[in-house]
Amino acid sequence: MEVCSNCFADKELKGFILSSTNIGNCNVCDSSNVALIDITELLDFFQELIGNFRTTDKGESLKLKIQKNWNFFASQSLAAKILDYLLPKLSTDISSSDDIVDYNEDIIDNFSHWEVLKNDLKWTRRFLSDIGYLEDLGWDGFFNTQYELKPSDELFRARVHHQSGILAYKADEMMSPPSHLVGGGRANPLGIPYLYLSDNSQTVLYEVRATYLDELSIGTFYLKDKYVSVKIVDFTEDTPLFQPTKINETIKARILRDRISSDLSKPMRRYDSEIEYIPTQFICEFINVFTGASGIRFSSSVHPRGKNVVIFDQNMMVCKEVILKKVNRLNLNAIEIK
Protein backbone atom coordinates (compact mmCIF):
# COMPACT_ATOMS: atom_id res chain seq x y z
CA MET A 1 0.00 0.00 0.00
CA GLU A 2 1.28 3.45 -0.95
CA VAL A 3 0.19 6.57 0.92
CA CYS A 4 0.59 10.29 0.26
CA SER A 5 0.85 13.38 2.45
CA ASN A 6 -2.87 14.06 1.98
CA CYS A 7 -3.64 10.93 4.00
CA PHE A 8 -2.24 12.58 7.13
CA ALA A 9 -2.56 15.81 9.11
CA ASP A 10 0.67 15.47 11.11
CA LYS A 11 2.94 18.18 9.72
CA GLU A 12 6.19 16.26 10.26
CA LEU A 13 4.92 13.13 8.54
CA LYS A 14 3.50 15.17 5.67
CA GLY A 15 6.92 16.76 5.20
CA PHE A 16 8.62 13.37 5.25
CA ILE A 17 6.31 12.01 2.54
CA LEU A 18 6.64 15.15 0.39
CA SER A 19 10.41 14.57 0.23
CA SER A 20 9.78 11.36 -1.72
CA THR A 21 10.64 11.33 -5.43
CA ASN A 22 8.02 8.67 -6.15
CA ILE A 23 5.12 10.49 -7.83
CA GLY A 24 1.79 8.89 -8.66
CA ASN A 25 -1.83 8.45 -7.63
CA CYS A 26 -2.79 7.57 -4.06
CA ASN A 27 -5.19 4.65 -3.81
CA VAL A 28 -5.92 5.44 -0.15
CA CYS A 29 -7.26 9.00 -0.41
CA ASP A 30 -7.56 9.17 -4.25
CA SER A 31 -5.17 12.14 -4.64
CA SER A 32 -3.56 12.45 -8.07
CA ASN A 33 0.02 13.20 -9.09
CA VAL A 34 1.36 13.31 -5.54
CA ALA A 35 4.47 12.14 -3.70
CA LEU A 36 4.02 8.58 -2.47
CA ILE A 37 5.77 6.26 -0.03
CA ASP A 38 5.15 2.59 0.68
CA ILE A 39 3.39 2.26 4.02
CA THR A 40 5.97 -0.34 5.06
CA GLU A 41 8.45 2.53 5.47
CA LEU A 42 6.35 3.56 8.47
CA LEU A 43 6.10 0.13 10.11
CA ASP A 44 8.69 0.88 12.79
CA PHE A 45 6.96 4.14 13.66
CA PHE A 46 3.52 2.52 13.93
CA GLN A 47 4.92 -0.40 15.91
CA GLU A 48 6.24 2.04 18.52
CA LEU A 49 3.06 4.15 18.39
CA ILE A 50 0.60 1.28 18.84
CA GLY A 51 2.79 -0.10 21.63
CA ASN A 52 1.60 2.80 23.80
CA PHE A 53 -2.00 1.55 23.80
CA ARG A 54 -3.73 -1.43 25.39
CA THR A 55 -7.14 -2.93 24.88
CA THR A 56 -9.66 -2.23 27.62
CA ASP A 57 -13.35 -2.62 28.41
CA LYS A 58 -13.87 1.13 28.77
CA GLY A 59 -12.33 3.75 26.55
CA GLU A 60 -12.42 4.84 22.94
CA SER A 61 -11.70 3.17 19.65
CA LEU A 62 -8.07 3.28 18.56
CA LYS A 63 -8.83 5.45 15.54
CA LEU A 64 -10.86 7.92 17.62
CA LYS A 65 -8.29 8.18 20.39
CA ILE A 66 -5.45 8.90 18.00
CA GLN A 67 -7.51 11.45 16.10
CA LYS A 68 -8.98 13.07 19.19
CA ASN A 69 -5.65 13.58 20.91
CA TRP A 70 -3.36 14.06 17.94
CA ASN A 71 -5.33 14.78 14.75
CA PHE A 72 -2.75 12.54 13.12
CA PHE A 73 -4.67 11.34 10.05
CA ALA A 74 -6.46 13.56 7.55
CA SER A 75 -9.79 12.01 8.54
CA GLN A 76 -11.17 9.24 10.72
CA SER A 77 -12.12 7.16 7.69
CA LEU A 78 -8.52 7.31 6.43
CA ALA A 79 -7.34 6.45 9.94
CA ALA A 80 -9.47 3.30 9.84
CA LYS A 81 -8.24 2.31 6.39
CA ILE A 82 -4.55 2.74 7.21
CA LEU A 83 -4.69 1.26 10.71
CA ASP A 84 -6.68 -1.79 9.63
CA TYR A 85 -4.08 -2.45 6.93
CA LEU A 86 -1.14 -2.09 9.32
CA LEU A 87 -2.35 -3.74 12.53
CA PRO A 88 -2.06 -7.37 11.26
CA LYS A 89 1.57 -6.61 10.37
CA LEU A 90 2.42 -5.36 13.87
CA SER A 91 3.19 -7.15 17.10
CA THR A 92 0.13 -6.11 19.12
CA ASP A 93 -3.02 -7.45 20.73
CA ILE A 94 -5.01 -4.72 18.99
CA SER A 95 -6.58 -6.20 15.88
CA SER A 96 -8.80 -3.43 14.55
CA SER A 97 -9.05 0.35 14.49
CA ASP A 98 -12.42 -0.13 16.20
CA ASP A 99 -10.92 -1.93 19.22
CA ILE A 100 -11.53 -0.07 22.49
CA VAL A 101 -8.22 1.11 23.91
CA ASP A 102 -6.58 3.34 26.47
CA TYR A 103 -3.02 4.46 27.03
CA ASN A 104 -0.62 2.15 28.84
CA GLU A 105 -0.39 2.51 32.61
CA ASP A 106 2.96 4.35 32.54
CA ILE A 107 1.48 7.12 30.40
CA ILE A 108 -1.66 7.41 32.54
CA ASP A 109 0.38 7.43 35.75
CA ASN A 110 2.61 10.17 34.33
CA PHE A 111 0.00 12.74 33.38
CA SER A 112 -2.30 11.77 36.28
CA HIS A 113 0.42 12.87 38.69
CA TRP A 114 -0.47 16.47 37.81
CA GLU A 115 -3.71 16.07 39.76
CA VAL A 116 -1.82 14.42 42.64
CA LEU A 117 0.74 17.24 42.67
CA LYS A 118 -1.98 19.91 42.57
CA ASN A 119 -3.66 18.42 45.62
CA ASP A 120 -0.36 18.05 47.52
CA LEU A 121 0.68 21.64 46.81
CA LYS A 122 -2.64 23.04 47.93
CA TRP A 123 -3.35 20.91 50.98
CA THR A 124 -0.35 18.83 52.08
CA ARG A 125 3.09 20.33 51.48
CA ARG A 126 3.95 23.43 49.53
CA PHE A 127 7.63 24.26 49.84
CA LEU A 128 9.32 20.85 49.90
CA SER A 129 7.71 19.03 46.99
CA ASP A 130 9.40 15.89 45.69
CA ILE A 131 11.25 17.41 42.73
CA GLY A 132 13.28 14.21 42.39
CA TYR A 133 10.14 12.24 41.59
CA LEU A 134 9.16 14.77 38.91
CA GLU A 135 12.60 14.27 37.37
CA ASP A 136 12.09 10.50 37.53
CA LEU A 137 8.83 11.00 35.60
CA GLY A 138 10.80 12.98 33.00
CA TRP A 139 8.98 16.25 33.57
CA ASP A 140 12.20 18.26 33.40
CA GLY A 141 12.38 17.31 29.71
CA PHE A 142 8.70 17.78 28.88
CA PHE A 143 8.78 21.55 28.38
CA ASN A 144 11.10 21.76 25.37
CA THR A 145 8.29 22.95 23.10
CA GLN A 146 9.55 26.52 22.89
CA TYR A 147 9.58 29.49 20.57
CA GLU A 148 11.95 32.44 20.32
CA LEU A 149 10.70 35.87 21.39
CA LYS A 150 12.61 38.50 19.43
CA PRO A 151 12.98 42.29 19.88
CA SER A 152 10.74 42.87 16.85
CA ASP A 153 7.79 40.96 18.36
CA GLU A 154 4.95 43.11 19.72
CA LEU A 155 3.13 42.22 22.93
CA PHE A 156 0.41 44.15 24.74
CA ARG A 157 -0.80 44.95 28.25
CA ALA A 158 -3.84 46.94 29.40
CA ARG A 159 -4.76 48.83 32.55
CA VAL A 160 -8.30 49.96 33.24
CA HIS A 161 -8.69 53.54 34.46
CA HIS A 162 -10.68 53.91 37.67
CA GLN A 163 -11.97 57.34 36.70
CA SER A 164 -12.87 59.00 33.42
CA GLY A 165 -10.98 61.76 31.68
CA ILE A 166 -7.45 61.08 32.89
CA LEU A 167 -4.45 60.81 30.61
CA ALA A 168 -2.95 57.53 29.47
CA TYR A 169 -0.59 55.92 31.93
CA LYS A 170 3.11 56.50 31.44
CA ALA A 171 5.21 53.68 30.01
CA ASP A 172 6.79 52.79 33.36
CA GLU A 173 3.32 52.62 34.94
CA MET A 174 2.37 49.82 32.54
CA MET A 175 4.84 47.43 34.13
CA SER A 176 3.96 45.05 36.97
CA PRO A 177 3.46 46.66 40.39
CA PRO A 178 6.35 46.64 42.89
CA SER A 179 6.86 43.41 44.81
CA HIS A 180 5.10 44.54 48.01
CA LEU A 181 1.93 45.23 46.03
CA VAL A 182 1.92 42.10 43.85
CA GLY A 183 -0.83 39.58 44.59
CA GLY A 184 -0.67 35.94 43.57
CA GLY A 185 -1.75 35.24 40.00
CA ARG A 186 -2.20 32.27 37.71
CA ALA A 187 1.56 32.19 37.06
CA ASN A 188 3.26 34.32 39.74
CA PRO A 189 3.40 33.76 43.50
CA LEU A 190 2.46 36.46 45.99
CA GLY A 191 5.12 39.18 46.07
CA ILE A 192 6.95 38.02 42.93
CA PRO A 193 6.09 40.19 39.90
CA TYR A 194 5.72 38.53 36.51
CA LEU A 195 4.71 40.56 33.46
CA TYR A 196 1.42 39.39 31.92
CA LEU A 197 1.13 40.25 28.23
CA SER A 198 -1.00 39.25 25.24
CA ASP A 199 -0.16 38.79 21.58
CA ASN A 200 -2.77 41.30 20.34
CA SER A 201 -4.42 44.45 21.63
CA GLN A 202 -7.92 42.94 21.46
CA THR A 203 -7.15 40.07 23.83
CA VAL A 204 -6.03 42.40 26.62
CA LEU A 205 -9.51 43.99 26.70
CA TYR A 206 -10.94 40.60 27.61
CA GLU A 207 -8.15 39.73 30.02
CA VAL A 208 -8.70 42.86 32.17
CA ARG A 209 -12.50 42.33 32.04
CA ALA A 210 -13.11 45.70 30.42
CA THR A 211 -16.78 46.77 30.36
CA TYR A 212 -18.83 49.23 28.35
CA LEU A 213 -17.44 52.81 28.42
CA ASP A 214 -14.32 51.80 30.35
CA GLU A 215 -11.24 53.83 29.50
CA LEU A 216 -7.98 51.95 29.30
CA SER A 217 -4.31 52.44 28.68
CA ILE A 218 -2.89 49.85 26.30
CA GLY A 219 0.88 49.53 26.21
CA THR A 220 2.95 48.00 23.43
CA PHE A 221 5.88 45.97 24.73
CA TYR A 222 9.07 44.69 23.12
CA LEU A 223 11.99 42.60 24.23
CA LYS A 224 14.90 44.91 24.99
CA ASP A 225 17.37 45.28 22.13
CA LYS A 226 20.25 43.83 24.14
CA TYR A 227 18.59 40.40 23.82
CA VAL A 228 18.88 38.75 20.40
CA SER A 229 16.05 36.43 21.46
CA VAL A 230 14.80 34.55 24.51
CA LYS A 231 13.15 31.16 24.84
CA ILE A 232 9.48 30.94 25.81
CA VAL A 233 7.83 27.61 26.70
CA ASP A 234 4.87 27.32 24.36
CA PHE A 235 1.73 25.59 25.63
CA THR A 236 -0.14 26.47 22.43
CA GLU A 237 1.93 24.52 19.89
CA ASP A 238 0.38 21.45 18.34
CA THR A 239 3.20 18.95 18.89
CA PRO A 240 3.65 16.50 15.97
CA LEU A 241 3.48 12.83 16.85
CA PHE A 242 5.84 11.83 14.04
CA GLN A 243 9.29 12.90 15.19
CA PRO A 244 12.69 11.35 15.93
CA THR A 245 12.30 11.42 19.74
CA LYS A 246 10.73 8.50 21.55
CA ILE A 247 7.00 8.41 20.90
CA ASN A 248 6.24 7.36 24.47
CA GLU A 249 7.93 10.51 25.79
CA THR A 250 6.23 12.63 23.14
CA ILE A 251 2.81 11.36 24.24
CA LYS A 252 3.55 11.88 27.93
CA ALA A 253 4.87 15.40 27.36
CA ARG A 254 1.99 16.48 25.13
CA ILE A 255 -0.79 15.23 27.43
CA LEU A 256 0.88 16.74 30.50
CA ARG A 257 1.31 20.11 28.79
CA ASP A 258 -2.31 20.06 27.63
CA ARG A 259 -3.53 19.53 31.19
CA ILE A 260 -1.29 22.23 32.62
CA SER A 261 -2.29 24.57 29.77
CA SER A 262 -5.96 24.06 30.63
CA ASP A 263 -5.29 25.17 34.20
CA LEU A 264 -3.18 28.12 33.09
CA SER A 265 -5.96 29.28 30.79
CA LYS A 266 -8.74 29.13 33.37
CA PRO A 267 -10.05 32.66 33.89
CA MET A 268 -9.68 34.09 37.35
CA ARG A 269 -13.09 34.43 38.98
CA ARG A 270 -13.60 37.11 41.60
CA TYR A 271 -14.48 34.49 44.22
CA ASP A 272 -11.46 32.24 43.53
CA SER A 273 -8.99 31.63 46.35
CA GLU A 274 -5.30 32.22 45.64
CA ILE A 275 -4.73 28.63 46.80
CA GLU A 276 -6.16 27.52 43.45
CA TYR A 277 -3.25 29.23 41.67
CA ILE A 278 -0.46 27.53 43.63
CA PRO A 279 -0.03 24.52 41.28
CA THR A 280 0.42 26.66 38.16
CA GLN A 281 2.69 29.02 40.10
CA PHE A 282 4.77 25.99 41.03
CA ILE A 283 4.99 24.69 37.47
CA CYS A 284 6.07 28.12 36.18
CA GLU A 285 8.91 28.18 38.70
CA PHE A 286 9.76 24.58 37.77
CA ILE A 287 9.95 25.64 34.10
CA ASN A 288 12.06 28.67 34.96
CA VAL A 289 14.58 26.57 36.90
CA PHE A 290 14.73 23.41 34.79
CA THR A 291 14.48 24.82 31.25
CA GLY A 292 16.07 28.24 31.64
CA ALA A 293 13.13 29.68 29.68
CA SER A 294 12.22 33.32 30.20
CA GLY A 295 8.46 32.82 30.20
CA ILE A 296 5.48 30.84 28.99
CA ARG A 297 2.80 31.24 26.31
CA PHE A 298 -0.70 29.79 26.67
CA SER A 299 -4.12 30.23 25.08
CA SER A 300 -6.50 32.85 26.40
CA SER A 301 -9.73 31.32 27.71
CA VAL A 302 -11.64 34.61 27.46
CA HIS A 303 -10.58 35.43 23.88
CA PRO A 304 -10.23 32.19 21.87
CA ARG A 305 -8.13 33.78 19.12
CA GLY A 306 -5.64 35.26 21.57
CA LYS A 307 -2.54 34.01 23.33
CA ASN A 308 -1.06 35.20 26.60
CA VAL A 309 2.64 35.51 27.36
CA VAL A 310 4.05 35.66 30.89
CA ILE A 311 7.58 37.01 31.26
CA PHE A 312 9.32 35.88 34.43
CA ASP A 313 11.68 38.88 34.59
CA GLN A 314 9.88 42.04 33.49
CA ASN A 315 13.19 43.92 33.26
CA MET A 316 13.76 42.10 29.96
CA MET A 317 10.87 44.06 28.42
CA VAL A 318 10.31 47.69 27.54
CA CYS A 319 7.03 49.55 26.97
CA LYS A 320 7.57 51.82 23.98
CA GLU A 321 4.06 53.21 23.45
CA VAL A 322 0.86 53.69 25.46
CA ILE A 323 -2.48 54.47 23.79
CA LEU A 324 -5.65 55.62 25.56
CA LYS A 325 -8.78 53.75 24.42
CA LYS A 326 -12.45 53.57 25.35
CA VAL A 327 -14.73 50.54 25.10
CA ASN A 328 -17.64 51.46 22.82
CA ARG A 329 -19.32 48.09 22.50
CA LEU A 330 -19.81 45.11 24.76
CA ASN A 331 -21.13 41.66 23.89
CA LEU A 332 -22.06 39.30 26.69
CA ASN A 333 -23.46 35.81 26.41
CA ALA A 334 -24.67 33.53 29.21
CA ILE A 335 -25.32 29.81 29.11
CA GLU A 336 -27.58 27.79 31.36
CA ILE A 337 -25.83 25.94 34.19
CA LYS A 338 -27.26 22.47 34.62
- Cβ neighbors of 144 (< 8 A, separation 6 or more) are 253, 291
Q: Do 52 and 70 form a contact (C-beta atoms < 8 A)? A: no
Say if residue 97 is in the same domain as residue 152: no
Structural domain boundaries enclosing 87: 2-102
What pLDDT score does 175 carry? 97
Chunked in runs of 10, what are the mean pLDDT values of the chain (338 residues)? 97 97 96 97 96 95 95 97 98 98 97 97 90 95 94 97 93 96 93 97 91 93 96 94 89 96 82 86 96 96 91 98 89 54
What pLDDT score does 123 carry? 94
Closest residue by Cα to residue 251 from 88, 86, 61, 48: 48
SS3 308: strand
**Residue 133: inside a domain, yes or no?**
no
What pLDDT score does 127 carry? 86
Say if residue 196 is in the same domain as residue 65: no
Say if residue 175 is in the same domain as residue 317: yes
**From the CB of residue 218, how many other CB atoms can be counted at a distance below 10 Å?**
22
SS3 139: helix
**From the CB of residue 100, how many other CB atoms can be counted at a distance below 10 Å?**
16
Say if residue 159 is in the same domain as residue 52: no
Say if residue 93 is in the same domain as residue 41: yes
Say if residue 62 is in the same domain as residue 166: no
What pLDDT score does 245 carry? 72
Interhelix angle 247-265/105-123, rounded to 10 degrees, is 30
Structural domain count of the chain: 2
What pLDDT score does 334 carry? 46
What pLDDT score does 126 carry? 86
